[in-house]
Every structure is written in C-alpha cells, then in structure tokens.
Structure 1
Amino acid sequence: MATLSIHAVSKIFAGDTAAVDAVSLEIADGELVCLLGPSGSGKSTLLRMVGGFEQPTAGSIAIDGQDVTRLPPEQRPTGMVFQSHALWSHMNVFNNLAFGLKLRRRPKGEIRDRVEAVLDLVGLKGYDRRMTHELSGGQQQRVALARSLILEPKILLLDEPFASLDQHLRERLREEVRDIQLRLKITTLFVTHGQDEALSMADRIVVMRNGRTEQTDRPEVVYRNPLTPFVAGFIGTMNFIEGRVETGRFRHADFAVDLPVADGPVTLAVRPEALDLVPADGVRQATVNRVTDFGTHGLVDLSLSDGTRIKSLVRRPEPFHPGQGVGLKPRAFAAFRDTVKLYGAIDAEPADQH
C-alpha cells in the first residue's frame, strides 16, 4: 500500500511539443484514479513517466514520499500492464510469471507458491503450463495483470489494458480488475479513453486535454457538475444549444428558458436524460429524426430549426416517430460562456415521460 505524488510534471518532445504540461496529482493509499482523455491528451505519457519509461522534462514523482523521478523502471515499486499484453510467446504462463521472481533469486518453492496464488487471484488456476498463444485475448490480459501483481508492486499502472478486447469481455474484465484492486487495496493509476470504464471503476477521474488537467473529482461529480464545456461534452452524451441571454432569459430561435446570468451569448448544456419531450401544442420546437428502442429506454434524435442536433432519453419510445413535432422542457442544465461556467449543474431526477 502506498501514496503517489506527481508534482508539476511536464514532458516536452522535439519541436517544443508539450505532451504533458505541469500536471500535479496526489493519489491516496489504495485509491484507483483514472486518467481520461482523447488521443494526444498526454495521459499515457504521464503514466509512462510514473513507471519510468519516459523521463520528465520538469517536475517530480514520489512514491511513499521517496523521489523516484530519475529511477529506471526496474528500480521503481511499480507494476505496469500494457494494452499489448507484452507477454513472452516462447514461454508458458508459469515462466512468464516466474521470470521476475527468478531475477530476484527467490527460492523455487516460493516462486511456485506465488505463481499458483496469483493465477488463482486472476481466475486462471491450472493454466500454468499453457503457452501464451494458446490463450484468448482476455486470458492473456489476465496473465499480464498477474505478472505485474506477482512482484507485489506498491503502485499498479494500467495503460488501456482492455482496448483490444470486445465489449462484453471488456466489461467483465474491468469488473474483475476492480474487484482485485479493492481486495488487494493496491494504489492504482489507470489510463483509458473510455468514459464508461472511468465512470464504473474510478474513485476519482482526471480529465486531460492537450497535456493539462481540465477537472479532477469523483465520477459522479465530473458527470453531474462538469466545470468546462470540454468535460461536459467528453463525459457522457451532451446537448449543446447556442443562444443568447436577454434580461434573465436564454433565447433560441425555437425555445426559451429562464437563466439568471448576464446578458450575452451563452451555450446551454443539457443531458438527454434531463430533456423532456412534450406535445407541441401548436408550437413545434424540435422535429424528430429517428427513434431508437433500447428495450429499457428509448433515445429520440431531434433537430432544431437551425440544424442543431439534440437527443432526449425517454422511458417509452412508442409515442414518437420521425417527422413529429415536439416541445422541449429541460429539467436541469448548465450554461457556459466561452470556457467559463456561468450557471448550474446538469443533474436531474428521472421523470415519467411519454
């Protein structure tokens, strides 16, 4: 069990490109933190600097208060699981797992016991003699996780470990990894570009963009109270509607809502689950383009008169059909002017809908 401290870490590549720009982050003992962002946001570079595979241009990294900034990977108390598994194909599972312990000259009996224990932990008991190419993608990723855990690292680093797997396997493995992480109480830094993984696994999410952190908080806070338009649009599905505020009221060509902020241009942000559809009553505010029935709920795709596309999540999709005119009733919304949040959160209680 350990703490991880990242202080003002930057990484400048050739051409003065800042892959990571003065990022600071404190990770508590036993916490799982997700670095979330699009490709090129700097999340994997930051993870690799924690693991010692890249050297920071500036800043420092400490584990349990000990500065590890200049230590090579093999001298750091970290274990890293890569997207590509990085298993040795000429070795069976046992030798893949035992390799690091052999380098540390551990007794044969201890090596055997620890291999058996970690295989049991990741659900691969009895697979020790299998060659890695005989395993499925999910089994190979379990072996990669076991190879990191067997060395008992203080910090576990996961670099998009499920990206190459199909959706069902990805969902199952992330639940298993989270269970293992909670059982071992191991401090973990997890890189992903999948918001569903971050929301379902993390104690905290760090949303990154262009090498910097946009917001760091608990998953429910990042989802319900995004601080910037980028975070609002990157986490979950978001409707953005451009308009103006005049005398305390947001106005769009198709509809208006009260908004107590200073007059001027504003972007309204509304989650699909917070946007109710009501009968048009002679005033068509939006037109239905498509209705998707997911069984448990429906998703209605709509257009405003200026071409803006928005979505509404409804409990029952049957009343809606393409070409239908509907009214809009946002139950909760946020408002942004440029990159500054002016008003509100986007959380809303579920409502009975048509």
Structure 2
Amino acid sequence: MARLTVHALEKRFANTAAVDRVSLDVEDGELICLLGPSGSGKSTMLRMIGGFERPTGGQILIDGQDVTHLPPERRPTGMVFQSHALWTHMTVAGNIAFGLKLRHLPRAEVRDKVEWALSLVGLAGYGSRMPYQLSGGQQQRVALARSLVLEPKILLLDEPFASLDQHLRERLREEVRDIQQRLGITTLFVTHGQDEALAISDRIAVLKDGRIEQLDTPDRVYRRPQTQFTAGFIGTMGFIEAEVRDGRFQHPDLCLPLTVSDGPATLALRPEDIVLAPATGPEGPVVVRAVDFGSHHQVELQLSEGERIKAMTEASSRWQRGDRVRLSIRNHALFRDGKVVLSSADTPDVELKKDLIHG
C-alpha cells in the first residue's frame, strides 16, 4: 500500500491549461475516481502521475518520495489503458511475464507470479492463448494482470472499460473493485461514467477545465453538490431559475420558503425528490413524456415558463402525456453564480424537508 500526493500539478499546451494547479491526496488503499467530461484534464493528470506526460509545474509524491521527473519504468506505478495494448505476437502468459523478465527474475518465480496474476483476474488456464483468441473483456483482464503482477504501489486505470458493452462493463468494474480491496492497492480510476464513479469509488474528484470542482464521497457528491456544474454532471438534475423575494422562491409552479437573501437563484431538484399529484385546476406543470423503466417511471414535465424537469414515480403510476400535476419537493439545492448557497439535505428541520408544496 502507498500514499499518493499531488501538489499544484500543472500541464499547459501553448496557452491552454489542461491541468491547472491541481492538488490531491490519495490515502493508503483508497480508490479515487477522476470524473469529468472530455477535455476536463483527467487523463492528462493520470498520465503525468504515471510518467507518460511531463508536468509543466507541481510535484508528484509517492510515500513521500518525489517521482515528478522519473520515467514510467522507475515509478512504483502500474497503468491500464483504455486500449488493451497487448502484444499480439505473444501469448497471454508472455504478455504478463514481459515486465518480470525485464527485472531478470528466476524463471520459476516468473511462472508462479504469472499464474497468480491469471488466477487473480479470473483467467486461470488461459496463459497459452493468444490475445486474438480472447474477448474484449478478457483482453482487459490480461492488461490488468500485466500491471498487477509487477506489484505496483499505485494502480492507474484510464477508462479501462470504455470500449465494452454496458453489461460487461458493470461486471468488470465490480471485479476490479473486489481485486483492489483484496490487495489493498491505492488506485486512481479515470472515467466519464457517473454510474461507474458512484459504484466503485471511495471518493470522487469531479474535474472541469483542469480543476477539481468537488472532492468528496459518492453520497456527498450526489446529495450535496457544491457547484452547479457538479449537480448537473452527477446523475439527473432539473434546474429552475427564478427570483427569491421575501424569503420565498417565486415561481408560478413552485413557491418554496428559503432562508436566503433576495435575488436571482437557480433551484436544483433530483427526480426522486419530486412527488407528483393531480392538479386541482387547469394550471400547473404538464406531463410531456412518461417512460417505463420497469422498476420505476420517469416522467418529464414542462413547467409554465418553459423549463423541463424529470420526476421519478412508482412503477404502478399511470401518468400520461397532457396530464396536469402539482409538485411536492422532498429535497432541493439552491445555487447562485454556480455555487451552492442552500441545501435542504443539510437542513435539520425535518418538517421543512418532508413536504414543501406549491398549493
């Protein structure tokens, strides 16, 4: 196990900062997901930690040792890329053994370590096969085994399952999480998949424009987003813009009491925090679409001023296009200038959180 420290890490291409003075501490045995859209700097940051990209500035420390300027082969890191990068002319065992042979280990020790790695990733008995004889998921397991067999202190995973179908991707990420916890290896996992980050990480670093927007546990990133970008990027979130006046969010379809100063603000609502009831009159949000997901229905609503938000309802609900509804809100967050100013998830007043209704 090891501790990774990144201090004011920076990477510039001409006048563009791909990574903009990012600092991050990863504890022993922790798995942190770097999550963000394309161009947010997450892969560039991972490549600098692995030694495949030279930083413009900052430091990278592993167990207190400065590795900022060391080449990849001299760093105690193992990296798994999105492309499997297997040598097609070598067997599976040959691919895994390659790095061990460069260390001039005895042949018997190399064989034992390869067998251990194959067993670890669920490919015992596959050593004599060629890469082209494996499925995409099996090839990625070989790539993972090739990194783990070298016993790195830090495991770096750069969107390793992006090219796989969803079902296989979900299964492999669970297997990787099990292996990571079994070995207790400190891990950085780059992904643009929200579900992936929420499912396997101890903490999530949400990146935007080369900077960390929020670094927190999955439940806090989802339920207590600190910026409007994070709120919109993680999961499904509906945004409603209106004025706060006299302590209330003034919107034709939703009038909430809020303990913030007057002025423009953006209300953020998760679908599962919106409760629908039949409207008592001809006014109110209208159902645009209702989609049956089996376990629940997702109902898309159009509000009076044109905004669209989504609500999650029970599988037994029967909302149809054109229905008028009344909204009740369980939880919400309020943003100004992209920063959170109020979150009912942090409000101790249970009655306030229980049912905030526009009558």
Shorter-chain TM-score tier: over 0.9
| TM alignment of 1:309-320, pairs within 5 A | 309-320=308-319
Q: What is the alpha-carbon distance in structure 1 between the residues aligned to residue 282 and residue 327 of structure 2?
A: 10
1:340 alignment counterpart: 339
Counterpart of 1:249? 248
Residue of structure 2 equivalent to 1:228: 227
* Partner in structure 2 of residue 78 of structure 1: 77
Distance apart, 1:26 and its partner CA: 0.5
Distance 2:261 2:202 in 1: 36
Render the CA deviation track for 1:251-277: whole Å, top value 9, x for unaligned: 113231111211111100010000111
Question: Residues of 1 paired with 2:123 and 2:293: CA distance?
Answer: 35
Name the counterpart of 2:50: 51
- The TM-score with structure 2 as length reference comes to 0.95
Matched, 1:94 2:93: yes
Partner of 2:11: 11
Q: Distance in 1 between matches of 2:344 and 2:190?
A: 26
**Equivalent in the alignment of 2:290:** 291
Query: How many angstroms does 1:179 deviate by?
Result: 0.1
Q: Tell me, what secondary structure is at the counterpart of 1:71? A: coil
* Matches of 2:299 and 2:209, distance apart in 1: 33
Question: What is the one-letter code of the residue matched to 2:9?
Answer: V
Equivalence for 1:148: 147
Question: Partners in 2 of 1:68 and 1:172 — Cα distance?
Answer: 34
Residue 158 (structure 1) aligned with residue 161 (structure 2): no
User: Contact 2:113–2:149 (CA<8 Å) still a contact in 1?
Assistant: yes
**CA distance, structure 1, for counterparts of residue 103 and residue 78 of structure 2:** 15
Q: How far did 1:293 drift?
A: 1.2
Q: 1:299 touches 1:317 (CA, 8 Å); kept in 2?
A: no
How far is the alpha carbon of 1:340 from its aligned partner? Answer: 2.3
> Partners of 2:176 and 2:125 in 1: how far apart?
19
Q: Tell me the CA shift for residue 303 of structure 1.
A: 0.5
- How far apart are 1:185 and its partner, in Å? 0.1
Matches within 5 A, 1:188-207: 188-207=187-206
The answer to whether 1:208 aligns with 2:207 is yes
Counterpart for residue 327 of structure 1: 326
Equivalent AA in structure 2 for residue 209 of structure 1: K
Match of 2:125 in 1: 126
> C-alpha separation between the residues in 2 aligned to 1:191 and 1:18?
19
Q: Are the counterparts in 1 of residues 253 and 327 from structure 2 also a CA contact under 8 Å?
A: no
Aligned length: 350
- 1:184 maps to 183
Contact 1:293 1:299 (8 Å CA) reproduced: yes
Partner secondary structure for residue 165 of structure 1: coil
Name the amino acid aligned to 1:13: F
* d(CA) in 1 for partners of 2:4, 2:315: 47
Instruction: Report the Cα offset of residue 339 of structure 1.
Output: 1.5
RMSD: 1.4
Give the corresponding residue for 2:305: 306
Alpha-carbon shift at residue 174 of structure 1 (Å): 0.2
Residues 286-343 of structure 1 show CA distances to partners (whole Å, capped at 9, x for unaligned) of 1001111111111101101222111000113532110000011111101011122111
Matched AA of 2:71: P
Deviation at 1:346, TM superposition (A): 5.1
Give the corresponding residue for 1:217.
216
Q: Structure 1 CA distance, aligned partners of 2:215 and 2:236?
A: 19
Work out the percentage of aligned pairs sharing the same amino acid. 64
**1:39–1:193 CA contact under 8 A, matched in 2:** yes
Superimposed CA distance per residue, residues 135-191 of structure 1 (whole angstroms, 9 cap, x where no aligned partner): 000000000000000000000000000000000000000000000000000000010
**Whole-angstrom CA distance in 2 between matches of 1:290 and 1:19:** 39
Deviation at 1:53, TM superposition (A): 0.4
Secondary structure of residue in 2 paired with 1:216: strand
- Structure 2 counterpart of 1:252, which letter? H
In structure 2, the residue matched to 1:109 is 108
Q: Quick one: structure 1 residues 97 and 49, their matched pair in 2 at CA, closer, same or farther if it must change by over 3 Å?
A: same
Q: Residue 69 of structure 1 aligns to a residue in which SS?
A: coil
Unaligned runs of 5+ in 1: none
CA contact under 8 A between 1:283 and 1:327: conserved in structure 2? Answer: no
Find the aligned partners of 1:171 and 1:8 in 2 and give their Cα distance.
33
User: Bigger shift: 122-131 or 315-324?
Assistant: 315-324
Which residue identity is paired with 1:6?
V
The answer as to whether partners of 1:270 and 1:346 remain within 8 angstroms in 2 is no
Secondary structure class of the residue paired with 1:148 = helix
Closer, same or farther: CA 185–275 of 1 in aligned 2, 3 Å: same
Q: Secondary structure at the match of 2:219?
A: helix
Native 8 Å contact 1:100 1:151 kept in 2: yes
The amino acid that maps onto 1:169 is: L
Q: Secondary structure of the equivalent of 2:204?
A: strand
Alpha-carbon distance change, 287 to 317 in structure 1, aligned in 2, over 3 angstroms: farther
SS in 2 for 1:145: helix
Code of the aligned partner of 1:12: R
- 2:302 partner amino acid: S
> In 2, Cα distance between the equivalents of 1:150 and 1:4?
20
- Deviation of residue 345 (structure 1)? 4.1
User: Within 1, Cα distance between the matches of 2:283 and 2:310?
Assistant: 16
TM-score normalised over the length of structure 1: 0.97
